[in-house]
Structure 1
Amino acid sequence: MTSLSLIGGHVFVTGGLAKGGLQCASDIGAEMIQVFVTNPRGWALTAGDPEQDAKLRESGMSSFVHVPYLVNMGSPSADTLEKSTATVRHGLRRAYEIGAEGVVVHTGSAVSQSREDALRQLHEHLLPLLEEIPDDGPDLLLEPMAGQGAMLCATVQDLEPYLTALDWHPKAGVCLDTCHAFAAGHDLSTAAGVKETLDALHAIAPGRLKLIHANDSKDVCGSKKDRHENIGAGHIGIEPFGELMRHPVAAGVPLCIETPGPIDKHREDIELLKKLRDREER
């Protein structure tokens, strides 16, 4: 029997990180949560509330932090790079304070500079942040993107030069987003495609998969469009998520939905994933 994966979602923290986050988790039936610890669409860095931090830490809820969308460690803009560095450092510190297991960061874009220069920049600015993480601190989870524009990492294969730029630091993990991977060309709509993708991930970065963003896709495989859909309502379909959980590389790895719609839809997506998981375990 494989290790059970916790299934949950990104939660709203209105009213406080613990108060709002744990209530939202209860409302959608989440066994784990992902949170923002600052404005996801801005650069202002929010200080934590020690009381809320302690409550979330003591709740026993498995948690992950997602850094704001503006972060781009591959940007040629000195201002963006400086702010991105500060924001990732802040996310890692806040994750440590709430007892989170990982901090998710988008792998970014070279924008107008060469890929080589952008990767060199990662070595100079992101690697030192990994070095700052305490041994008992969170992993930094690299989330490959859908492949649009000058993205540094989209396919599983793109992780190899990215991790090389980070000296294969032990605190560098991977967050696999199913919609992104599908958009980048990994055909996760078939059992063979799921196996091929996860086999490739194991060959390149064994043991580094720490979180899965479970999202269906509004667009076809290889579209390079990052548009999430509810589980089973997109081009990936329902059954591949069961295949995903059955693969040994994903055994015990938490699944976090980032699907559209209100809380009722999120609860439905989580319930569907739980049924697939529990069916695979019988």
Structure 2
Amino acid sequence: MTPSNLIGGHVFVAGGLATGGLRHASKIGAEMIQVFVSNPRGWALSAGDPAEDAKLRESGMPAFVHANYLVNFGSPTEATLESSVTVIRHTLRRAAAIGALGVVVHTGSAVNQSREEAMRQVREHLLPLLDEIPDDGPDLLLEPMAGQGRMLCATVQDLGPYLEALDFHPKAGVCLDTCHAFAAGHDLAAPDGVRLTLDALHEVAPGRLKLIHANDSKDACGSKRDRHENIGAGHIGARPFADLMRHPVAAGVPLCVETPGKEEKLREDIELLKKLR
């Protein structure tokens, strides 16, 4: 029997990582959650609360952590590289403390330098962090972007050289964002779009898909614009999400909703995905 996909969302943690996070999860009907463990738009780090960490770890709620948005291992700026290393090392440790299954990190941009130099930096700075993760620790999940600017990884095919730069490390997994993939040119709305995309992912990264960010898109396929829309209300539509959950590459992979709107909209998106499941 094909394992079922858990469906949940990114939750707010006001009142405590576990207290606030689990309360929000209950309100939106989440079967899994994604959280930040520090400010996602700043370099400041949070030590966390051991009691809250233990409460979340012992709750049995499958959890993932999204890393800081500023992290960029392709950056030509030394301060950004150093801060990226510090933040990811800290985030992996915090993820382990709460029993998270993985840490999602954006794959970065070359900014104003060559792709070759940027990828050299990815290898130099990210590979040692992967080596530090214990066998029972969280995976580091690479999230391809929408293709804007000089992004190092947008299409699923881009994951091939990215993983090669990391020696196909066993702790390097993949987080596929449906809005990003659609914006990068994978036409998930086409009749065979989901199958072609996931087949291509299996070719370059077999067995590495660990999380799906389930987001519709405000913009057309190939727009290279990262603007999430509620499920079924954008250019992707609802049907492809059903196709996705029926593809063997996505079997048992959790779906995390990151769509716009307040609590009730997030709950509606999660309920719709459950119906499609």
Same fold per superposition (TM over 0.5): yes
Q: Count how many residue pairs are aligned between Structure 1 and Structure 2.
A: 277
Distance 2:36 2:78 in 1: 24
Distance 2:158 2:193 in 1: 17
Post-superposition Cα deviations, 1:152-202, rounded to whole Å, max 9, x if no partner, equal 000000001100110100000000000000000000012301000000000
Is contact 1:72-1:81 (8 Å) kept?
yes
What is aligned with 1:103? 103
Distance 1:134 1:53 in 2: 19
* 1:1-282 pair list within 5 angstroms: 1-277=1-277
Post-superposition Cα deviations, 1:24-55, rounded to whole Å, max 9, x if no partner, equal 00000000000000001100000011000000
Identity of counterpart residues, as a percentage? 79
Specify the SS of the correspondent of 2:110: coil
What is aligned with 1:280? none
Distance 2:183 2:206 in 1: 23
Is contact 1:71-1:80 (8 Å) kept?
yes
Cα RMSD of the aligned pairs, angstroms, is 0.5
Shift of 1:64: 0.1
The one-letter amino acid of 2:260's match is: P
Q: Which runs of 4+ in 1 moved over 4 A?
A: none
Distance 1:191 1:46 in 2: 45
Specify the SS of the correspondent of 1:110: coil
The one-letter amino acid of 1:186's match is: H
Specify the SS of the correspondent of 1:87: helix
Shift of 1:81: 0.5
Distance 2:263 2:84 in 1: 31
Post-superposition Cα deviations, 1:138-164, rounded to whole Å, max 9, x if no partner, equal 000000000000000000000011001
Post-superposition Cα deviations, 1:233-263, rounded to whole Å, max 9, x if no partner, equal 0000000000000000000000000000000
Distance 1:228 1:187 in 2: 15
Is contact 1:7-1:32 (8 Å) kept?
yes
Distance 1:276 1:90 in 2: 37
Unaligned runs of 5+ in 1: 278-282
Specify the SS of the correspondent of 1:237: coil
Specify the SS of the correspondent of 1:174: strand
Distance 1:191 1:18 in 2: 41
Specify the SS of the correspondent of 1:271: helix
Distance 2:247 2:75 in 1: 35
Specify the SS of the correspondent of 1:51: helix
Is contact 1:7-1:31 (8 Å) kept?
yes
Is contact 1:191-1:243 (8 Å) kept?
no
TM-score by length of 2: 0.99
Shift of 1:2: 1.3
TM-score by length of 1: 0.98
Post-superposition Cα deviations, 1:212-246, rounded to whole Å, max 9, x if no partner, equal 00000000000000000000000000000000000
